[in-house]
Amino acid sequence: MSLSTQIAGRADVIIAGGGVMGAATAFFARQLGLSVILLERDLVGQYASGTNFGNVRRQGRFLQQLPLSNRSRELWGRLPELIGEDVEFVAAGHVRVSFKEEDSQRLEKYAEDCKPYGLDLEIYSGRQAVDRFPMLSPDVHLASFSPLDGHANPRLAAPAFARAARRAGATVLERTEVLNISKNSEDFVVETSGGQRFVAPQLQISVGAWARKVAAAFGEDLPLVPKAPQMAVTEPVPYRIHPVIGYASWVEEEGVYLRQVERGNIVFGGGRRSTVDLEAKRARLDPLNTLRQMPHMERLLPDFARLRIIRTWAGIESYTDDDLPVMGASSLVPGLFYAFGFCGAGFQLGPGVGATMADLLATGQTEIPLAPFSIARFASAAVA
């Protein structure tokens, strides 16, 4: 069509996907002087970025992810100066609780292993844990406390980054779906649902669960499975639980977690994940999963039993088979970058991913080790 041959915009980088990764990248790329066009199919932060639990947690992460996570944590603490709002970030700590000896051993080992990465955890016996956090069940066997972690409001984070990016001069277009991407000798040419074409020498793909198709089109298919972690929230009750509390079990159904927002509601999630309809852009929320969470929540927090659940939701997240994200440069296409597949643990990383991707986009390098997250790791394995 002749209309679509008009170029609607040209920039140093086009970012496809306005989740927290894309929005934060847009912001930090502007800080480094790049011109940016951010294209979001629906609304910024509407899917995984806006529906996740809101964990700003480092402990428990894959060790090689900690440099990135540490960088992100430092940025979380500076959000007011960076983007003008705190998105309800509360650095009240993160507690992982175990009820079984074997789980306790894992927690203790992790606390040792993460030290060289600059993550200092405090290990409490069950009794110490209950002294420190009296709302916990007296059956707690051991707790690992990460005092500088915390939680934030996921509904606010990505939109706040996008607004800050826009104020800093980025072009942020919502309800603008990328329909086609082609590459000529110099530039990526991105055609959108509005019949517009955008052109840039660099392109970042941060479209979350929908990234597989895009990567595959560039010859970099990978196993990426969408799943829907399920959350719920109670009615508001007096604010008394400050840190995030998670049940550190290696049994999927037991792995519930909770946080209380300052207004009083207790947000919780975990356990069995629901399925996703990517075409319909819908997580198939199963309220039975909420029922399944209840006994584990009560085991963690006995007084939970007296509360009422007022809302449930699920978000669409994507998981790789090694539980690590895809982040960094394409191994095949110059100028192409990826940041997706954060396996249900991306929210905390958001600001750090944005800053690190901006480094890459602006300078071609970053001090954060990204090798474990390269998409090249899937090239050797046959993709199912």
Phi then psi for residue 156, to 5 deg, are -95, -25
Q: Which is nearer to another protein, 306 or 371 (CB)?
A: 306
CB of 287 to another protein, least distance (A): 4
Phi then psi for residue 82, to 5 deg, are -80, -55
CB of 302 to another protein, least distance (A): 6
d(C-alpha 225, C-alpha 230), whole Å: 16
Q: Which is nearer to another protein, 2 or 308 (CB)?
A: 308
Q: What's 132-175 look like in SS3? A: HCCCCCCCCCEEEEECCCEECCHHHHHHHHHHHHHHCCCEEECC
CB of 182 to another protein, least distance (A): 30
Asked if residue 315 lies in contact with residue 283, where contact means CB atoms within 8 angstroms, the answer is: yes
Site for another protein, rule CB under 8 A = 43, 50, 134-138, 155-156, 159, 163, 174-175, 234-238, 240, 263-264, 285-288, 290-292, 294-295, 297-298, 301-313
Q: Which is nearer to another protein, 290 or 348 (CB)?
A: 290
Q: Which is nearer to another protein, 115 or 282 (CB)?
A: 282
CB of 25 to another protein, least distance (A): 20
Alpha-carbon separation of residue 13 from 7, 107, 209, 351, 369 (angstroms)? 15, 42, 21, 18, 22
Of 216, 189, 193, 218, nearest to 202 by C-alpha is: 189
CB of 264 to another protein, least distance (A): 6
CB of 245 to another protein, least distance (A): 12
Asked if residue 340 lies in contact with residue 211, where contact means CB atoms within 8 angstroms, the answer is: yes
Q: Which is nearer to another protein, 157 or 207 (CB)?
A: 157
CB of 42 to another protein, least distance (A): 10
Q: Which is nearer to another protein, 231 or 244 (CB)?
A: 231
Extract the runs of DSSP E, i.e. beta strands, from 137-295: 142-146, 150-151, 171-173, 178-183, 188-192, 197-200, 202-205, 224-227, 230-236, 244-247, 256-260, 265-270, 276-277, 282-283
Of the chain, the end-to-end C-alpha distance in Å amounts to 37
Q: Which is nearer to another protein, 119 or 162 (CB)?
A: 162
